[in-house]
Amino acid sequence: MRAFQGGHAQVGTPVLDTGLNGRRHEDARTDRQNLENQQARQQQQQRQREEAAKRVEDVPVHTCGASKGTEQVIYDPSRQSRRSPEALGPNRTMSLEKMKDLHLEGKYLQPETQEVDGVLMTKLISDNWDTIWNFQAKPDDLLIATYAKAGTTWTQEIVDMIQNDGDVQKCQRANTFDRHPFIEWTLPPPLNSGLDLANKMPSPRTLKTHLPVQMLPPSFWKENSKIIYVARNAKDCLVSYYHFSRMNKMVPDPGTWEEYVETFKAGKVLWGSWYDHVKGWWEAKDQHRILYLFYEDMKEDPKREIQKILKFLEKDISEEVLNKIIYHTSFDVMKENPMANYTTLPTSIMDHSISPFMRKGMPGDWKNYFTVAQNEDFDKDYEKKMAGSTLTFRTEI
């Protein structure tokens, strides 16, 4: 008998005219009702899928992270699949958050490192270096460049809100890491590497990098792309990086706090020396279209710093939208925003119970970690490394 059972009939299954022979009229009515309910549910799900697909199409091209029909970029729960890497085909890649679905965590989470021109990188970045170096930037690209943990995600959210005229829904279209390709970040297929995402993204693109200035792909200089650089004081960067390295399995283990302080000072962390990074970009800022911002200033007066970004991007917005951006990009709101707080990644990649990505968001937290002796040693070493530079930082506000 071809009658549906327990309401699991497929759409289009010819149930009513074949499955009811010899059954009671009452049963038939219930069965018909079940089928109608089932069909209504399926139609509703289909409508939701179509609406989700439409939302993706509706996102303005300058911020949209995927072309229609690809699997890799847009966060869309209705399209969660459990396909194998092979089933994705040669040109199909996927967002990092799907790693769990593919049971790939153990296979890929080996933070092997290798230096590129004396700067520590993951081995995957190092192996892919020629391709990264030859990345083709475009004149209308916007690059957000930072040393790790300096306020990248915060700046990304501000920029996205500006580009979308304060439309929170549009900024919810995908995870931070899928909205703004992290150009040097290399993952094995089928996972999305930054370059895969960037090359598929329609212009104008907003990109992210932690590369020191001398390692930036030269096409950015040649094409005169705009760059926002955000710097954060060394001690808070160190503390934030230490906790991030504890919770994120994609970067090397930090060891003990004492060990990490020395590793950081020696610049033997991913993306190299903080000192060289902030100084290098500081020197470059007067020769290129670079807006150099400070995390501490953003914290002290977000309105003033967002206005600097607006001017740099040549954007005009109303006071109302500006206030909306300040609110939406505040630490407390971003901490609860799954599209900005990295909580959609599997815990095997980032374990927020060890330390949340959105941890404290406050200048001066270093005082809770440095001993007096560590602080004195740090300051002495800092003076030597920063000697001759006009760049100064505030370590509290």
Does residue 189 bind ligand PPS (CB under 6 A)?
no
Out of 141, 143, 145, 149, point to the residue binding ligand PPS (CB under 6 A). Answer: 149
Interacting residue with ligand PPS among 63, 95, 126, 152 (CB under 6 A): 152
Quote the tokens at residue 345. Answer: 């990644």
Build a one-symbol-per-residue string for 3-22: x at contacts with ligand PPS by CB under 6 A, - elsewhere: --------------------
Tokens in use for 119? Answer: 């700067």
Does 360 interact with ligand PPS (rule: CB under 6 A)? Answer: yes
Catalytic residue numbers, as ranges: 210
Backbone angles phi, psi at 198, to 5 degrees: -60, -45
**Shortest distance in whole angstroms from residue 5 CB to ligand PPS:** 51
394 binds ligand PPS (CB under 6 A): no
329 binds ligand PPS (CB under 6 A): yes
Shortest Cβ distance from residue 31 to ligand PPS (Å)? 55
Q: Which is nearer to ligand PPS, 146 or 193 (CB)?
A: 146
Crossing angle, helix 302-312 and helix 319-328, to 10 degrees?
Answer: 120
Q: Which is nearer to ligand PPS, 19 or 151 (CB)?
A: 151
Q: CA-CA distance, 195 to 191, in Å (whole number)?
A: 11
Instruction: Tell me the pairing of strands 142-146 and 226-231.
Output: parallel
Judged by CB under 6 A, the stretch of 9-17, 239-247, 307-315, 319-327 that binds ligand PPS is 239-247
Binding flag, residue 365, ligand PPS (CB under 6 A)? yes
Rounded to a whole number of angstroms, the minimum distance from the CB of residue 297 to ligand PPS is 12
Q: Smallest distance from the beta carbon of 242 to ligand PPS, in angstroms?
A: 9
Q: In this structure, is the dihedral angle defined by the CA atoms of residues 347, 348, 351 and 354, taken in order, positive or negative?
A: positive
As measured in angstroms, the least distance from the Cβ of 93 to ligand PPS is: 21
User: How many residues contact ligand PPS, by CB under 6 A?
Assistant: 22
User: Applying CB under 6 A, which of residues 255, 361, 364, 395 lies at the interface with ligand PPS?
Assistant: 361
- 252 contacts ligand PPS (rule: CB under 6 A): no
Work out whether 95 is an interface residue with ligand PPS (CB under 6 A): no
Q: Are 146 and 154 spatial neighbours (Cβ–Cβ below 8 Å)?
A: no
The verdict on 143 binding ligand PPS (CB under 6 A) reads no
From the list 63, 93, 146, 343, which residue makes contact with ligand PPS (rule: CB under 6 A)? 146
Report H helices in the chain: 25-58, 105-108, 123-127, 129-133, 152-163, 168-171, 176-179, 194-200, 219-223, 234-247, 257-265, 274-284, 295-300, 302-312, 319-328, 331-335, 372-386
What is the spatial distance between Cα 56 and Cα 235, in angstroms, rounded to a whole number?
Answer: 41
Strand 113-116 with 119-122, pairing? antiparallel
Q: Which of 183, 247, 309, 334 binds ligand PPS (CB under 6 A)?
A: 334
- Using alpha carbons only, give the angle 241, 358, 191 rounded to the nearest 5 degrees: 75
Measure Cα distances from 2 to 7, 9, 14, 22, 282 in Å. 13, 10, 8, 13, 73
Q: Which is nearer to ligand PPS, 19 or 274 (CB)?
A: 274
The nearest distance, CB 32 to ligand PPS, in angstroms, is 55
Q: Which of 204, 188, 172 is nearest to 196 (CA)?
A: 188
Contact 191, 105 (CB under 8 A): no
Task: Assess 240 for contact with ligand PPS (CB under 6 A).
Answer: yes
The amino acid present at 29, given as its one-letter code, is: R
Q: How far is the CB of 385 from ligand PPS (least distance, A)?
A: 21
Asked if 153 is part of the footprint of ligand PPS (rule: CB under 6 A), the reply reads yes
Of 71 and 157, nearer to ligand PPS (C-beta) is 157
Which span (33-41, 136-144, 346-354, 355-363) binds ligand PPS, by CB under 6 A?
355-363
Crossing angle of the two packed helices 302-312 and 152-163, in degrees rounded to 10 = 60
Supply 255's token pair.
């060891």
Which chain residues interact with ligand PPS by CB under 6 A? Answer: 146, 148-154, 236, 240, 243-244, 299, 329-331, 334, 358-361, 365
